[in-house]
Amino acid sequence: MESAAIAAAPVVNMSAWALFLQADLVVKAVVVLLILMSLWSWAIIFDKVFRLRSLFKQAEQFEEKFWSGQSLEDLFERVGQRPREPMATIFTAAMREWRRSAGKGGTPPASASGSALLGERIDRVMKISLEREMDHLHRRMIFLASTGSVAPFLGLFGTVWGIMNTFTAIGASSDTSLATVAPGIAEALFATALGLVAAIPAVVFYNKISSDLSRYALRLENFAGEFGAILSRQLDVK
């Protein structure tokens, strides 16, 4: 008799799509939000990873040109007025200030005070340009951090809500069989699983991308310092 009862029990569809369709409206909203957060996080991750890989390669190529021995004026003409690579942008900003301070005579100020002021202006221009470029590269990183922090709690909220509805249904029907309890519990745990799926990659890649951004910022700072030293020596010669 017991085996016959088990055989007669209805088969419950426990696929992810079936669980989503059977879920409460609030749980559905949580699931959709988590899926959207996960997709946008992966879009940011791919964009940042490939962008940084390209920037490191471009920085290496620019440094090869910079240290190749050609004059700064020739390199400035080759780079152009609006380069798209941050290191070249810093170089261009400094050279533009150098040319602007040289004036129509084409010669930087000869006095010690004028040279010192020019050196300070060039350093300030390079610092502002560096900060602007790094601010642009850090855009949307806050979303990864927020996803890593908030997604597990959103999933937990969906789980708690789903379990509350399950117990409410059990109390109303007085049926505690596994076939009645399992779908509701599975729907609730599905939200937690999605929360972890969204949060774990966001946290891992946030840490990696942040580390790469710090290394890239240090590379730009080193270049700005070296370039500033070169211009300062030229001012001393003048």
pLDDT at 26: 82
Instruction: For 115-127, write each residue's pLDDT tens digit.
Output: 678 888 888 999 9
Burial of 160-188, coded b for 16+ CB within 10 Å and e otherwise, reads: ebbeebbeeeeeeeeeeeeeeeebbebbb
* Number of domains into which the chain is organized: 1
pLDDT at 107: 52
15, part of any domain: no
5, part of any domain: no
pLDDT at residue 27 above 90? no
214, part of any domain: yes
17, part of any domain: no
Instruction: For 30-54, write each residue's pLDDT tens digit.
Output: 889 999 999 999 999 999 999 999 9
> Which is more confident, 118 or 4?
118
Reported confidence tier of residue 17, pLDDT bands at 50, 70, 90:
low
Host domain of residue 64: 22-237
pTM of the model: 0.80
